[in-house]
Chain A
Amino acid sequence: MTSTAMPARSRPARALTRRHHRRGWAFVAPFAAVFALTFVAPLVYAFGLSLFRDQAFFGGTVFVGLGNYTQALGDPKFWEAFGRVLLFLAVQVPIMLLLALVAAFAIDSARLHAAGFFRMVIFLPYAVPGVVAVLMWGFIYGDHFGLAADLNHLLGRDAVEPLSVNWILTSIGNIVTWEFVGYNMLIFYSALKVVPPDQIEAAAIDGAGALRTIVSVKLPAIRGAIVVATIFSIIGSFQLFNEPNILRTLAPNVITTYFTPNMYAYNLSFGGQQYNYSATVAIVMGVITAVIAYAVQLRGQRKER
């Protein structure tokens, strides 16, 4: 995180601070109103939902307290979905961030011809709407009509099956990496841009080579950006939905209704009218995500000091 040091507070300003407080609220009010309406209220509503069980046909709504939570914590479908995104996170996020870092360093190195062009091209996939990107990759993956089919035809056997059970997660990871390398590269690149040139000069005078400069100067300098990118990626992985949900039509039996936690919540609610349980799954997942993201942030900050 780019933590700018707080200016030390001067002592004789008690009354002033209070007045500041009030004025501060006035500035925050527009944001706070929207925040309350679009963030806090739905959360509270979802939490309220999660304490009940509405029977879609007979019996009406009953208060079940934390019953839905105990059910969710013991739900093998939920944990299967969670395990899947965790695996996805563990493999895809490091690969994506590493690629983004390499790209950012290469563009920042000033040794690359047409750096602006590469920056643009690497970033471009992020500008493609997610749904369109998945549809496009779907056409490449398609084992009846896509590139995969052509390759198999060429090889004379079913060698490439991106939509099979064993490969589907990798295929989704490939799409997500393609989509977000550019975005993360831009975060890293802008952080690199503000590394003080005198530090780099000093390193050069001390005889550090390009690699040494990266490891000892640039990487520590952009640690904050790396932590931010990691947190974004963790959240993104846990919320995986678009890619599998769209590929479902191409790989119907491979991608189940509980392939990821978000898909599970979606299908519970819109396929099964289990709104209460769906809200519970969403909240449990939200809490897990928040805890992990917070842990990563704490760890990132600790190293910073």
Chain B
Amino acid sequence: MSTNAQQTARNVTLPSSLEEAVAALAAAPSAVPVAGGTDLMAAVNSGLLRPAGLVGLGRISEIRGWQYADGHALLGAGLTHARMGRPDFAALIPALAAAARAAGPPQIRNAGTLGGNIATAAPTGDALPVLAALEASVILAGPGGNRELPVSHLLTGMDPLRPGELLAFVRVPLLHAPQTFLKATGRTGPGRALASVAVVLDPARRGVRCAVGAVAPVPLRPLEAERWVAGLIDWDGGRLLAPEACTAFGEYVAGACIPDPVPGPDGAEAVELPPAAVQLRRTVAALARRALGRALA
């Protein structure tokens, strides 16, 4: 039982539109927006966070769905994982749907949102490698109007949220090609990712894009490996790739994300990778190989 939440809930606003929400945040800059609350309320209950106020986003219907916008999908930040996991969404952005279905037990997926996954920016956030691989961008609503920036800029802190800004939409390109998201956990039931890999094919630009989650604070993109493997794929034919090439891609990705230790400046022998890192690298290699294999199958 925890009653901390009641204490913090003294200043709660429940706007019903984005403008109202932005205005509420502008009026109380120390208030924290809350959507599903699956991460935020856990932090409040364990006493890690005592927000001065809350702006509940649950009543803003415009961010709870998605729409098409010139070859892109404009996803509301309030889309729940449960909604993203449904077949109609999976037909549109399969990797994001797979990540949403893997994101936890049903109770969490029913409440947790896409925007919340980005805002929490946990290394193990399942949607994040998919968004990185899709090169998605986020649209932030703020007092001075909307601005759009790549999701990676937000996650790395290159261009952080400004005071009074609210994560409103995520713009995702519609690629009409296979995508995969694979996640390794220590168990069969829902769990946090030890490592996750998203692979998306972009036949129009003849590209393969890959992102690795959970091994670093932000999703990692092995760009060289992507370019190398894209050059091997027969895009006009059956998109075939030799199994050895898939394996090599896996090794390439894993080596890029978990690099060998650099030799010392005096030319001294580099220390060996610790066993846990070797194991993680093997896991990433297997995931990347399988993810690419399934995307091309």
Are A and B a genuine interacting pair, yes or no? no
